Structure 1
Amino acid sequence: MAQGQMAPGIVAGRLSSDELASNFADLHPAFAPHEAAVAADRCYFCYDAPCVTACPTDIDIPLFIRQIQTGQPEAAGRTILEQNILGGMCARVCPTETLCEEACVRETAEGKPVEIGRLQRYATDSVMAKNGHPFERAEPTGKTVAVVGAGPAGLACAHRLAMLGHDVVIHEAREKSGGLNEFGIAAYKSTDNFAQAEVDWLLRIGGITIKTGSALGREFTLDDLRDQYDAVFLSIGLTGVNALRAEGEDKDGVRNAVDFIAELRQASDLTKMPVGRNVVVIGGGMTAIDAGVQAKLLGAENVTIAYRRDREAMGASRFEQDLAASKGVRILFNLQPVAVHGNGAVREIELEYTTNDNGTLVGTGETIRLAADQVFKAIGQSLEGAPEGVKLDGRKIAVTGPGRTSVPGVWAGGDCAAGGDDLTVTAVAEGRDAAMDIHASLSA
């Protein structure tokens, strides 16, 4: 749909400001001190804690929970932040139900894990509420590193490098830092402008400069960076959105779910955020859930998520699926889009039933039509703007070890790099580990 053009049926103000404020309130409210103490008491403090193994950033979870239990939340926060400098955001958005909490012994024994995510938020919030910064920079090394992208991987890499005494310049294509944390996560998971507050707090380490509106391939090339800096870390994310490959997907009212989520996150007044009456989301990952739930919270009457495979194959966790259902979002499985119908603007979407034929997804020929004045595409993103000369692995940047690319002096991490999960916590781990390898290389 052209900029500024609105399909009929997509309107703003379906709900009052009070209703919207209630709908978009914090999904997991912060613990009060006594609640945190009670939650911490449930931990067994396992010696070979399976929760630690399940954490992509290897946080010593039993240690930080014991620190909370003994009344030292700031020490607990430091334990977390030493491994995961974006531990505050990860506590809010990390799929703990499929990582640390799923591995918790309490979950195995009782079906109710220790609330690790909310305890992590309590600890990191305690640290961030204090003046200053919990970490200090090492003596300056005289080396300068370019980081391309101010998302989770880039920020984590920059902070660790700054801690080690290097100067870092982050080039961010957008006019605002944060990447996925700022533009790509449901508003009810990150309230009170937390993503920007976390960036501001992270920068207190010193030695980091962020240049916004500075894009690879537009303002500079990779060769420019290699000439000007001692090392380069690429964390450019995934900016391309896969097509439906369905007839009529160019009709008004069909748009990318990531754009919808970003627009909503940047909206200062949700009563001015337009949404359809009948919304259909195509996809099965976290983006699909976030788009579908938020459409419902904005006042859409009917929201349906259509996924081409069965429930077990769905990328979104069962917790997220259940959350969507609890908000009134319908999830349909084994359906793939074949056509978008309407005279200029979408009125219906036609979907074909699918089946698994010896591991291959095939259409059955049977179709249904759903009323739709708004369709969101959430079927995955792709890498755009990969610098020339950098080897790719499939549709992402090929890396070895802690993020080394095929180009000397250039590392990569986060969603743009092959091999990892597209999660904030994984991106943080990759940025941190690449920073350590960059430091070793610069110190050799």
Structure 2
Amino acid sequence: MTESNTAPDVKPGRLSASEYERNFSDLHPLLAPHEASVEADRCYFCYDAPCVQACPTSIDIPQFIRQISTGNPTGSAKTIYDQNILGGMCARVCPTETLCEQVCVREVAEGKPVKIGQLQRYATDHFMASRETTPYTRKSPTGKKVAVVGAGPAGLACAHALAVEGHDIDLFDANEKPGGLNEYGIASYKSVDNFAAREVAFVLSIGGITLKTGSKLGETVQLSELRTQYDAVFLGIGLGGVNALGLENEAKDGVLDAVDFIAGLRQADDYATLPVGRKVVVIGGGMTAVDIAVQTKLLGAEDVTIAYRRGQERMNASEYEQYLAQTNGVKILTWAQPKTLIASNGHVEAVELERTQDDNGQLKGTGETLTLEADMVFKAVGQALVPADLNGSSPNIRIEKGRIVVDADRKTSLADVWAGGDCVLGGDDLTVAAVEDGKIAAASIHSALSA
């Protein structure tokens, strides 16, 4: 193995102001009214539509598209919000190409689906531009109080639904800003103009929800205390830990968590202040891997490679996301897993990868290696629940395979605690799935509190 003699090249300001502005502009600009009308007219308004069945939140897609086609975007948005109060963000980040649009009759017949996601954004953006509050009114106060821990998609959906029913909600979040991954984890070109914060304000406009930021479960907030102080608790805490590569030199400069870097990028006022390497390697194959790879390329990195241990068809990132990466100049290297992080003078400078193969369903190394020079190496190999954050209740909440166990109503092993989103066993790593968890849990909590 030969170490590189090239010094790490990590610096900010690789591009001009106009290049940053262009690179991080809206990935899918808002449809104009005429464009939306033409696209809506392509819908067949199917009975028992497959797109509705494919939507995790069961939005009546033919109905909201028909309302757009008849010049009623306000009613269209209401149809969306009835099932998904975070419909605006989901329209931006939901992998519609693998959900509703994949089963669209137009896609099956012509290979060109109705642009459901963009039409959903058209309706919800129209509504939020003309109204400051959600289209719902709170019912009479019930006197019941619920603690919702985590102000991400699951927590926001749960809090809003419970507030509508007249319950009072304390919404806790560990970060300075609410929104969860919508605020801190979404690629910047997917959510521009501070939309995540604006949507949170929209959700909170229902009233009855008190936001408590800087409140981390297991530190400033304890589950055992919440259970004694509130009538019910919902946990939408996400995954606070980051999986490690388990390699020597992982703590060296230049070896970074992709999630942390994306969070910093999302909060940056000036992209020119963000240092990026000339040569970047990303370890992983999911949406986070694509997001960090594309964004480092947009920040001015010249050579960006995603290294994934299995075949491209096994990547968790959708085909569209893979296409997005490749059209932005990102290389995707498959059947390669990290073996050694090579460092010099305290900074990573290369990654040695071992070629892999599938041996009757088992991933095995072949012994063949290759080395990629790298000024920065990003870990995007998944996140993990931090069980210690849940300590203090008696009995302890049930956890399996590193996730909270819930039933169909999103109820945990504790009678007064529900959970949803990334932190639960069997959950999908999707904003829209987290919203559905929050909805289901809220309905179950309301039923329990009304008994």
Q: Which amino acid aligns with 1:356?
A: D
TM-superposed deviation, 1:130: 2.0
Partner of 2:304: 303
Identify the residue that residue 376 of structure 1 maps to in structure 2.
378
CA–CA distance in structure 2, aligned partners of residues 315 and 217 of structure 1 = 31
* 385-394 or 348-357: bigger deviation: 385-394
CA contact (8 A) 2:91 2:118 kept: yes
Paired AA for residue 240 in structure 2: T
Tell me the SS of whatever aligns to 1:205.
Answer: coil
Tell me if 1:442 matches 2:445: no
Equivalent position of 2:153 in the other structure: 152
Matches for 1:313-352 after TM superposition, within 5 Å: 313-343=314-344, 344-352=346-354
1:253 aligns with 2:254: yes
CA distance in 2, matches of 1:438, 1:98: 31
What SS does the aligned partner of 2:179 have?
coil
Whether the aligned pair in 2 keeps the contact of 1:183 and 1:262 (CA below 8 Å) is: yes
Map of 2:423 onto structure 1 = 416
1:356 maps to what in 2? 358
CA shift at 1:386, angstroms? 4.1
Contact 2:219 2:389 in 1 (8 A): no
2:214 alignment partner in structure 1: 213
Q: SS where residue 103 of structure 1 aligns?
A: coil
Please tell me whether the aligned partners of residues 247 and 338 of structure 1 are also in contact (alpha carbons under 8 angstroms). Answer: no
Query: Aligned partners of 1:439 and 1:126: how far apart in 2?
Result: 31
| Structure 2 partner of 1:3 | none
1:403 counterpart residue number: 410
Q: Residues 127 and 134 of structure 1 are in contact (CA less than 8 Å); yes or no, is this contact kept in structure 2?
A: no
Return the letter of the residue paired with 1:252.
D
In 1, the alpha carbon distance for the partners of 2:94 and 2:254 equals 31
> Are the aligned partners of 2:182 and 2:196 in contact in 1 as well (CA < 8 Å)?
yes
- What secondary structure is seen at the aligned counterpart in 1 of 2:29? coil
Equivalents in 2 of 1:301, 1:441: separation in Å?
56
Superposition deviation, residue 177 in structure 1: 0.3
Matching residue of 2:438 = 431
Provide the rounded CA distance (Å) in 2 between the counterparts of 1:8 and 1:174. 32
- Determine the C-alpha separation between the residues in 1 that align with 2:343 and 2:140: 64
Equivalence for 2:4:
none
User: 2-side partners of 1:10 and 1:150: how far apart?
Assistant: 34
**Rounded Cα–Cα distance in structure 2 between residues aligned with 1:38 and 1:56:** 26
2:8·2:374 contact (CA, 8 Å) conserved in 1?
no
Contact 2:59 2:84 in 1 (8 A): yes
Q: Distance in 2 between matches of 1:43 and 1:186?
A: 29
8 A Cα contact 1:240 1:382, kept in partner? yes
Residue type at the aligned position of 1:328: G
Alignment partner, residue 119 of structure 2 = 119
Which amino acid letter does the alignment assign opposite residue 431 of structure 2?
T
Query: In the alignment, is residue 367 of structure 1 matched against residue 340 of structure 2?
Result: no
Q: Tell whether 2:89 aligns with 1:89.
A: yes
SS of the residue 2:256 aligns to:
strand
Deviations 1:424-444 (A, max 9, x none): 000000001100000000000
Alignment of 1:62-81 (within 5 A): 62-81=62-81
**Match of 1:127, SS?**
helix
Superposed CA offset, 1:383-404 (max 9, x none): 0144121100210000012110
Please give the alpha-carbon distance, in whole angstroms, between the structure 2 residues aligned to 1:223 and 1:262. 30
Structure 1 match to 2:288: 287
TM-score, with structure 1 as normaliser: 0.98
Counting only pairs closer than 5 Å after superposition, residues 12-51 of structure 1 correspond to structure 2 as 12-51=12-51
Provide Cα deviations, 1:51-83, integer angstroms capped at 9, x if missing partner: 001000000000000000000001000000110
Q: Please name the residue that 2:3 is paired with.
A: none
- Aligned equivalent of 1:264: 265
SS at match of 1:202: helix
Distance 1:347 1:78 in 2: 53
- CA offset at residue 126 of structure 1? 1.3
- Separation of aligned partners in 2, 1:243 and 1:165: 43
Instruction: Using the TM superposition, give the Cα deviation of residue 314 of structure 1 relative to its aligned residue in structure 2, in angstroms.
Output: 0.5
Displacement of 1:133 in angstroms is: 2.8
What TM-score do the two structures reach when normalised by structure 2? 0.96
Find the counterpart in structure 1 of residue 139 from structure 2: 138
Which runs of no fewer than 5 residues in structure 2 stay unpaired? 1-6
Q: How is 1:50-65 mapped onto 2 (pairs within 5 angstroms)? A: 50-65=50-65
Distance 2:416 2:82 in 1: 26
Task: Say whether the 8 Å CA contact 1:386–1:397 is kept in structure 2.
Answer: no
Distance in 2, Cα, partners of 1:220 & 1:317: 37
The Cα of 1:8 is off from its aligned counterpart by 4.1
Which amino acid in the other structure matches residue 116 of structure 2? I
Find the residue that maps to 2:425 and give its secondary structure.
Answer: coil
Q: Which string of whole-angstrom CA distances, capped at 9 and with x for unpartnered residues, describes residues 353-388 of structure 1? A: 000000000000000000101000000100014412
Q: Provide the residue aligned with 1:4 in structure 2.
A: none
Q: Kindly tell me the number of residue pairs found equivalent between the two proteins.
A: 438
2:276 aligns to what SS in structure 1?
coil
Q: Is the 8 A contact 1:247 1:340 kept in 2?
A: yes
Alpha-carbon separation, structure 2, partners of 1:157 and 1:48: 27
The separation in 2 between residues aligned to 1:83 and 1:139, in whole angstroms, is 22
Q: CA deviation at 1:220?
A: 2.2
| Cα distance in 2 for residues equivalent to 1:221 and 1:341 | 41
